[in-house]
Structure 1
């Protein structure tokens, strides 16, 4: 017997499916749940997902903006998990590995972060060890000695790389050598770190801390209680505010550094100061930056990589600093074409100042940015990361939705106006390190 086929349900493969531009989507940011520990420390979490996994991030106001001696913030943060009075560094690492968990630590300019990835069911045995780390880290002399030896070796290797040196120098040019965004490490700084420095910084910024906790994943029903049992009695809600530092840009706008006499490649950095996210131009400039050098199909990539073949890749970006920012163009090219590369960057700036972007390219850029945002909020870990960025920058969901509106509605005329305001070569620092 032949089956009866409903022809209305058969897919007609001669007709292509409808295509919907990403700009037509209305993205929403899943709201978080806010909870306060007994000590008042805020917790922001997203209880969502299909897998039994969890992310917990503890963010401290303890970045290098708070240190009174170079490298102390990053050294303290790195050595947090290298020993307590009850556990050695090996025992701490083995504990997390036994449960298939990973505890990472990161030091930024304003903040430091402890990040835990684990199976949700193991939070009850992992959070108490993090509590022990935050209250009883002892910074053993032998661990500090290993850290200093490794840091000096890494620095000596990196100082031979033109891109590493260029990244250090351009930040100094933009912010000043004594500004937290511009300070760099030296062998002397590393050698000068003492255990007493670490113990004091730990006491002032971890045992008595200003922190926020972010979490996401398929969290256990007693998640709030688990956090409060481990951290609710700690001093995590102290009044530790960010320190404001004065920016002192260098006077000379153009620099050429010969770092390696035998080098065949040069690192090119072109950068200017730029307002932070609270400035009304920031959201619109993010769109202009994407067009200019922010993705693989950008103007800079099409010209300098695809057409000229000067580099494997070139990109521009707005720096992700909280207090101040910068607009940076970054690439590495053969040393014989570094100057030609800079000329082409300025040519692309000139075109954006003088010519309107056509509708097709503008739609391509808008669709790319919206597609990237789609990926950035796909899953609970990504959503809480977006919320963390907003909260740490003193922003709320209005900023997210205003950004989506800006992407959809910005015009070619607005982009040209922004290019004339900000893409002026005389405003940029120019650095080549070979």
Structure 2
């Protein structure tokens, strides 16, 4: 039941010759449909011998409650580790013998389970992927191993001041927001990740309205669709309405949050958080470029001149509800680092970039326009560098579908980045870094308890 539709010239691969970014090549994505309406996005793999077939389920963290954080991730991990026809040990054997793997990925608005293997084995291994998705099993030994991994991840976060800081920022910013639910488990949600809860969730995942397939392969598309029809094509559409969740911009305000942690003894870690444009905003790439340019000025002033911390910079969180951070890693002077940051912020807002610190401590300035072209090239390379392998190309198509609902999203990014001007960068910097309300967060050693941040 094929309905071929040329959707766009989309997948871009990056060719590097020194620092030169080659124009992305294009490939046609053809859309087919399984007998139950599940779309299959097919890309002929002419790049290498490794194929990727990904089953994408729309929903993700926004469809779950905070106390269910990590539940969908756990379910997809169990899918990837065993099924009715292929238990955990059989999976391990197949992976070794066929040099293949089944992987899962959690996104804000979807979860993905993928098969990667040599194209020679794809027809043979597709049933391993689909049986895992449709008929996962939950052996106690495998479940216990997963839960131990989760516990260790949580413990590691709370034992590391830098990880604890980032977690604290996210928890506070997204309190009461659809993103309050985390893709991974939290200390409060861990107890709710049970086999019975995963089984309940699995029933809602098997809904043809939520599913699509992305296939980058040499396999004949008609043959692929025929094989998928015998498995995924039998999944029915549920009668329950699909959730409609509005992901609004975050509102950042409040007093500073300062935690003490023994692992931060003798130093400190801090971040200043503020709202930034969403990843679909016209200002998004201007903000990303502003963060990169500002980071260099921050480093030259806060680290190189004053030596108040080991590392510093700024970045934005690219999502539908974005926020930005100025971060300060391993602070040696907790009393003065904010003054140094304010100096860097003022210089950037005036349209200048600190290119060098002279021996006498004076600055050499350059206009933002001078460093903007190189910063654009770096950003473009970072976006498309993953497209050099099959899994990365599949991830680009998945992101275009789920994050942007626009199969042309990644094709148009290069033009959008090149269109950003110096005025755009400075306007966005002043709007978000200067004018937006901000909130400070810090993790310090016990000896610094009671320190104040302004």
TM-score tier after normalising by the smaller chain length = 0.7 to 0.9
How far 1:100 moved relative to its partner?
Answer: 0.8
- Matches of 1:276 and 1:365 in 2, distance apart? 20
SS in 2 for 1:386: helix
Conserved 8 A contact 1:162-1:259: yes
Alignment match, 2:342? 346
Q: 1:207 to 1:179 in 2, by over 3 A?
A: closer
Deviation larger for 305-314 or 34-43 = 305-314
Conserved 8 A contact 1:60-1:209: no
Alignment match, 2:265? 263
Deviation larger for 123-132 or 267-276 = 267-276
Matched, 1:413 2:423: yes
Alignment match, 1:158? 157
Alignment match, 1:337? 333
Q: 1:231 to 1:415 in 2, by over 3 A?
A: same
How far 1:403 moved relative to its partner?
Answer: 3.3
What's the CA shift string for 1:334-360, capped at 9, x where partnerless? 3x3355444333333222221253442
Q: 1:406 to 1:131 in 2, by over 3 A?
A: closer
Q: 1:258 to 1:272 in 2, by over 3 A?
A: same
Conserved 8 A contact 1:46-1:380: no
Conserved 8 A contact 1:120-1:220: no
Q: 1:117 to 1:425 in 2, by over 3 A?
A: same
How far 1:101 moved relative to its partner?
Answer: 0.5
Q: 1:358 to 1:161 in 2, by over 3 A?
A: closer
- Which structure: greater strand fraction? 2
Matched, 1:43 2:32: no
SS in 1 for 2:54: strand
- Matches of 1:219 and 1:43 in 2, distance apart? 13
- Matches of 1:158 and 1:231 in 2, distance apart? 38
Root-mean-square deviation (CA, aligned residues, Å) is 3.3
How far 1:232 moved relative to its partner?
Answer: 2.1
- Matches of 2:258 and 2:144 in 1, distance apart? 36
Alignment match, 2:451? none
How far 1:226 moved relative to its partner?
Answer: 3.5
- Matches of 1:231 and 1:395 in 2, distance apart? 23
Conserved 8 A contact 1:56-1:115: yes
Alignment match, 2:5? none
Aligned length: 409
Alignment match, 1:74? 73
- Matches of 1:398 and 1:190 in 2, distance apart? 38
Q: 1:242 to 1:133 in 2, by over 3 A?
A: farther
- Matches of 1:224 and 1:306 in 2, distance apart? 58
Q: How does 1:10-409 map to 2 (within 5 A)?
A: 26-27=23-24, 29-68=26-65, 69-71=67-69, 72-176=71-175, 179-181=178-180, 183=182, 185-206=185-206, 210-220=210-220, 222-235=223-236, 240-241=242-243, 243-244=245-246, 251-260=253-262, 263-293=265-295, 298-321=296-319, 323-334=320-331, 336-338=332-334, 340-356=336-352, 357-373=367-383, 375-378=385-388, 381-396=391-406, 399-400=409-410, 402-409=412-419
Q: 1:51 to 1:147 in 2, by over 3 A?
A: closer
Conserved 8 A contact 1:53-1:118: yes
How far 1:258 moved relative to its partner?
Answer: 0.8
How far 1:433 moved relative to its partner?
Answer: 1.0
TM-score normalised according to structure 2 size? 0.78
SS in 2 for 1:109: coil
What's the CA shift string for 1:28-70, capped at 9, x where partnerless? 5433222222221122232133422111222212423222442
Q: 2:432 aligns with which of 388, 398, 422?
A: 422
- Matches of 2:76 and 2:141 in 1, distance apart? 16
- Matches of 2:190 and 2:260 in 1, distance apart? 25
SS in 1 for 2:189: helix
How far 1:187 moved relative to its partner?
Answer: 4.1
Deviation larger for 323-332 or 122-131 = 323-332
Conserved 8 A contact 1:78-1:105: yes
TM-score normalised according to structure 1 size? 0.81
Conserved 8 A contact 2:61-2:108: yes
What's the CA shift string for 1:59-83, capped at 9, x where partnerless? 2124232224423222222222344
Conserved 8 A contact 2:61-2:181: no
- Matches of 1:423 and 1:58 in 2, distance apart? 39
- Matches of 1:148 and 1:371 in 2, distance apart? 37
SS in 2 for 1:95: helix
Q: 1:236 to 1:291 in 2, by over 3 A?
A: farther
Conserved 8 A contact 2:272-2:326: yes
Deviation larger for 416-425 or 181-190 = 181-190
Conserved 8 A contact 2:314-2:326: yes
